[in-house]
Structure 1
């Protein structure tokens, strides 16, 4: 492949993705130069459950969208105004694109930057309604506002030794951690994690890192529950009959938990007693039933304003039937929205580099080539208990950035 060749994973509609040739990125935003940006040679880029929502046709994502918002890269070109990031640096890219100048960014709310998406607050690479930015499941990608956005790893060789873990700093590790922080997880907490996909597993590890006494993970896929159990979580198989309160009581001797984290989102299905049919509000309603009075509920799981594949008309516009009165009566705190990755990625990097957490093992990272991405999407959609990490230039496999 020539130095300026570029390929990427492209959404083709109808549950299909393909690897296509793309233009090599330039330091430009529309018709103007982007002197605050850099071009990255992609070291690793991950398939996310949020990508899968689009590929399933559960959003209004257009065909031709270049996917990928979880990016780690090697800087190969920097704009004139980039002062602190240099060519040759290995960096983690927060999935939120943020300008660093607006009111939200100055308050640390980088998930809702006011300047990077004309449609609404907040932007992301390769994602529907998130500003039209090109995704990073590619060989090369342009990243704006580089000095503000990028997390530089302090030592390139050390970074490559830990790259299977560090690749998760762009999204799912901070997102899972954020879910736990906003759910109030701390030393001695009892925690229920809804969903044992990669974000749910990252949340479970985060709860342990924060000192939880007991972490319970619920899912309907046995392989994912086995993965959660592999690092000390209690598990609940949601295919089984019986109330959630009864199932939690068997584990805790109590019918409620201190903290609840929703890592499922809008494609939720009812548990076994509901015959597994889609019920987009079921996790939120379980959260209010299972969380103790005065407890907190973190909701990093994705909810959308438009869901063309929903089973009822209300859900198609994000209107869900919630027992909000129960949450009000129990004085619950609910926290929603994108994780502001920059709030967490540096301390979580330190936890990885100093051996405090093995996040790659917990989420079961599997490294694949860019050409294998379509199969990775298919396997992930089938419920594989894996986090697929795309390695476009074989740098992860070889253990060196070159």
Structure 2
């Protein structure tokens, strides 16, 4: 039996690299997965969604293997796998999806009906998402392989571009989905809340879609500086001037055509009330309604939860937010929520990467680290490092 190591959640603020079970072609409920494959992981990324769990803002159990952003090489195929072969280099959407239910057939792989007994939607290494083992490890099992996996057409070319292609598992499709659902198109003015990896991926996506002006808002100076380095305008949410006032200084009007929430429920105050340690979970949504033009749209790929045990008020602990929804209604705004159906976008975005139409590794400032340094990566990311940490568990990357 081969060995395996993975990043394990050990309680609020703590992760460890531990020896874990080598994957088997079995699902979390013990059913045989003849439709699955075993991957030797080439790259696996630390995500802001992982940080929600590590910060104690979910009901994640101690001992859970983390990681849902997985790129790897197939080393074993189940007997029912027909089109994926041993040796293939593949990208794994973070959504676990069967490919056979009504939602999957309608391209809503984010809410597959068959991979999670508790509610629609599954993911690797994530709380309440079906119990699928995470991929911040050396090896992982992927079910429904023929449907889920995106094979790279040229293995050698793909290995040269892994720092970019590793972003196909989540953050690039997520940022792109936020922009598409917000209606970003040629000539759009766009406000993106958040300058973390998803926010920067959304900014790069907006540029790919032809936006005229992309404005990124955050309170982290290093992240704002990086956003400017890739051609974005920025607003500093810690300034006394409101976001609308800062947008007016850039555009001449205090509103944008489209807005994308890449922050989610762990948002903080703005202006005089800005405090990185204080949560104001609805503030981004309320700001979006204020600064988006009448008839516009808001994409919301940022994560919101049904339960937030780390919230500062009782309502937010149960997932209730104090939203100024009447303003959104009065302005005829459209809102689009939910996890990203990665398969809807990943093939097209792969082609954009392979043909040098987007440099996403540069946009999100990828830094490759070995598996042993994952705990330090989590700590640096939690402190606001302007980087996307990519774990290289086998030393495969340059």
Offset at residue 278 of structure 1 (A)? 1.8
Secondary structure of 1:280's counterpart equals coil
| 3-state SS in 1 of match to 2:234 | strand
- What corresponds to 2:136 in structure 1? 137
Shift of 1:275: 3.5
Q: Distance in 1 between matches of 2:291 and 2:372?
A: 43
Q: C-alpha separation between the residues in 2 aligned to 1:81 and 1:374?
A: 37
Give distance in 1, aligned partners of 2:385 and 2:200: 13
Tell me which residue corresponds to 2:162: 163
The list of structure 1 runs, each at least 4 consecutive aligned residues, that deviate by more than 3 angstroms after superposition, is none
Give the equivalent residue in structure 1 for 2:369.
368
8 Å CA contact 1:27, 1:35 repeated in 2: yes
Equivalent residue, structure 2, for 1:81 = 80
User: Which deviates more, 270-279 or 290-299?
Assistant: 270-279
Cα-Cα RMSD: 0.7
Instruction: Quote how far apart the aligned CAs of 1:216 are.
Output: 0.2
Within 2, Cα distance between the matches of 1:171 and 1:361?
Answer: 16
Partner of 1:110: 109
1:299-378 alignment, distance < 5 Å: 299-378=300-379
* Residue pairs, 1:3-402, within 5 angstroms: 4-29=2-27, 30-276=29-275, 277-397=278-398
TM-score (norm 2): 0.98
Distance in 2, matches of 1:65 and 1:272, equals: 37
Is residue 242–residue 273 contact of structure 1 (8 Å, CA) maintained in 2? Answer: no
Residue ranges of structure 1 left out of the alignment (5+ in a row)? 398-402
Contact residue 194 and residue 217 of structure 1 kept, 8 A? yes
CA contact (8 A) 2:282 2:322 kept: yes
Write out per-residue CA displacement over residues 335-381 of structure 1, whole angstroms, 9 at most, x where no aligned residue. 00000000000000000000101000010000000000000000000
Deviation by residue 1:8-65 (Cα, 9 ceiling, x = unmatched): 0000002100000011111112433211000000000000000000000000000000
Q: How many residues align?
A: 395
Secondary structure of 2:83 counterpart:
coil
Cα separation, 2, equivalents of 1:83 and 1:42: 21
Query: Tell me, what secondary structure is at the counterpart of 1:232?
Result: coil
Distance in 2, matches of 1:278 and 1:7, equals 34
Distance in 2, Cα, partners of 1:223 & 1:124: 31
Whether contact under 8 Å (2:242, 2:271) holds in the other structure is: no
> What's the CA shift string for 1:172-199, capped at 9, x where partnerless?
0000000000000000000000000000
Separation in 1 of the partners of 2:373 and 2:349?
Answer: 29
User: Are 2:237 and 2:274, in contact at CA under 8 Å, matched by a contact in 1?
Assistant: no
TM-score, L = length of structure 1: 0.97
Aligned to 1:400: none
1: CA distance, partners of 2:279 / 2:83:
48
Deviations 1:60-110 (A, max 9, x none): 000000000000000000001100000000000000000001010000000
